[in-house]
């Protein structure tokens, strides 16, 4: 079990399904699954499982603690040197930043009191992880040995932790298909006409010159049925809507997230190369190849959807420029078509290179929350969202984040996601509203996005 120059123990293990492997540690404290459930070599490749973090961070809703500062301090304390040849993901801080955690990154309106009882930020520091490369079908256990600091003690802990995780994975049986029962019943928090009226009001703000775009969402609530494990719910959602940035996190006390996100928020490698992939523009998949191709072509030629995407690209270029080297920010892909099992999307790619002295936390702080789920200008759009949506978004429209001890970062936008707390489940969806938005079409688009979430719990389309 060789240790690398950075002190990380790297042990190859036999390939298996990451979801099967996760089931073997699912009931350990604070288990996490970063799940590339849709793999094509570019959007999805690496999955990760971990549990039993050696340190935890929680910032409750409306609390004063700053998660960005806490993460920066801990990551500096447990820094490891980056090393070529190790898998893309490794030991580090894993968790979520809720949408309202944006108040620690920039000026934003105070959140409304209503919402699920979930912290605005929750992270575990995981010294031992298993990572799975679905393209080359390889798997590894990586163990850093933290929080031990002496080289010998750190190596002993790293070896012991790696052996334990490898043994648990080796003993994991293949899972049967997820149990289709029990089922739950959803209730809409906002009537359909209320959502359409919100679209009209945003159009009025745009006409008045307040904003160019705002992201409006609607929420559905249900009680988690007795006997339904949230991980089973994640597996149902995964089967209905596989996604490259899917995730399942269970942070105890009935608090969990099951995500089928198609959208990368931010990534940065150990060399400081930055990427963000905003999604704006959606069409459903067609029932046959001809209809499907026509819907994709309609999306690609839609002036409204392309304009919506371009606004967010400009916002993210500005956000990245706050922490990236002058002249390094560029847009190699503008409004590219990406197709998923349920929808077509327009996806752009914005790249940059961190300026000297800047790191992953600086990047997160400069860009959070993501422009694709706020609008432009960002702060004013968030103020308008605050007046229209009746509850805190919580993790939804925030980010699930992996911060490597080597300085790397990968993160998703928390969309197409079920959130649970206190025996309740929330599903939420929406879209970017511009002046040309049609209230009926916007409502229909939001329902296309939320349908797999509702179906995962209720069993009906």
| Residues belonging to the active site | 263, 280
The closest of 318, 338, 399 to 100, measured between CA atoms, is 399
- Strand blocks (E) in 51-166: 55-59, 92-97, 121-126, 128-133, 138-143
CA distances from 290 to 24, 294, 387 (A): 43, 6, 42
Which residues face 221 on adjacent strands? Answer: 187, 426
Q: Which two tokens stand for residue 71?
A: 């993460």
> Residue 324 has what DSSP assignment?
B
Please, what sign has the CA dihedral across residues 413, 426, 204, 295? positive
Q: Which two tokens stand for residue 182?
A: 């029990």
Q: Round to whole Å and give the CA distance between 148 and 154.
A: 5
Length of the chain: 461
* H runs (alpha helix) in 94-191: 151-170
Q: Round to whole Å and give the CA distance between 256 and 449.
A: 21
First and final CA of the chain: distance in angstroms?
A: 49
Q: Is the peptide bond before 102 cis (omega within 30 degrees of 0)?
A: no
276 three-class SS: strand
Stretch (H or E) spanning 425:
strand 424-433
What would you measure as the largest C-alpha separation in the chain, in angstroms? 66
**Residue 357 contacts by C-beta under 8 Å, 6 or more apart in sequence?**
none
């Amino acid at each position: 079990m060789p240790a690398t120059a950075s002190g990380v123990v790297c042990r190859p293990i036999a390939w298996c399904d990451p979801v099967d492997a996760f089931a073997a540690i699912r009931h350990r404290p604070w288990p996490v699954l970063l799940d590339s459930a849709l793999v094509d070599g570019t959007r999805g490749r690496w999955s990760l499982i971990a549990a039993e973090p050696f340190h935890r961070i929680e910032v409750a809703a409306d609390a004063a603690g700053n998660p960005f500062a806490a993460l920066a301090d801990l990551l500096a304390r447990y820094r490891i040197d980056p090393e070529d040849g190790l898998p893309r993901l490794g030991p580090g801080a894993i968790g979520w930043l809720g949408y309202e955690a944006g108040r620690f990154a920039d000026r934003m309106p105070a959140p409304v009191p209503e919402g699920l009882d979930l912290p605005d930020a929750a992270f575990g520091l995981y010294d031992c992880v298993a990572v799975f490369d679905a393209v080359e079908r390889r798997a590894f256990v990586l163990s850093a040995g933290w929080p031990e600091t002496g080289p010998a003690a750190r190596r002993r802990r790293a070896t012991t932790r790696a052996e334990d995780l490898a043994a648990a994975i080796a003993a994991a049986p293949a899972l049967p298909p997820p149990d289709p029962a029990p089922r739950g019943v959803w209730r809409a928090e906002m009537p359909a006409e209320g959502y359409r009226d919100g679209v009209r009001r945003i159009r009025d703000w745009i006409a008045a010159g307040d904003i160019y775009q705002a992201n409006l969402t609607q929420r559905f609530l249900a009680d988690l049925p007795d006997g339904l494990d949230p991980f089973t719910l994640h597996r149902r959602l995964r089967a209905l809507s596989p996604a490259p940035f899917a995730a399942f996190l269970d942070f105890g006390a009935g608090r969990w997230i099951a995500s089928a996100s198609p959208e990368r928020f931010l990534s940065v490698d150990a060399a400081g190369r930055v990427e963000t992939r905003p999604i704006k523009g959606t069409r459903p998949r067609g029932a046959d190849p001809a209809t499907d191709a026509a819907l994709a072509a309609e999306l690609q030629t839609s002036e409204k959807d392309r304009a919506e995407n371009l606004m967010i690209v400009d916002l993210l270029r500005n956000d990245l420029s706050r922490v990236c080297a002058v002249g390094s920010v560029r847009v190699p892909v503008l409004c590219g078509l990406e197709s998923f099992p349920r929808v077509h999307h327009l996806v752009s790619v914005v790249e940059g290179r961190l300026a000297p002295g800047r790191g992953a936390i600086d990047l997160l702080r400069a860009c959070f929350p993501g422009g694709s789920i706020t609008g432009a200008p960002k702060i004013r759009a968030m103020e308008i969202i605050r007046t229209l949506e009746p509850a805190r978004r919580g993790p939804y429209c925030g980010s699930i984040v992996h911060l490597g001890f080597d300085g790397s970062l990968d993160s998703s936008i928390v969309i197409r996601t079920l959130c649970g707390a206190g025996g309740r489940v929330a599903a939420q969806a929406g879209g970017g509203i511009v002046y040309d938005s049609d209230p009926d079409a916007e409502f229909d688009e939001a329902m296309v996005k939320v349908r797999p979430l509702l179906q995962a719990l209720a069993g009906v389309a």
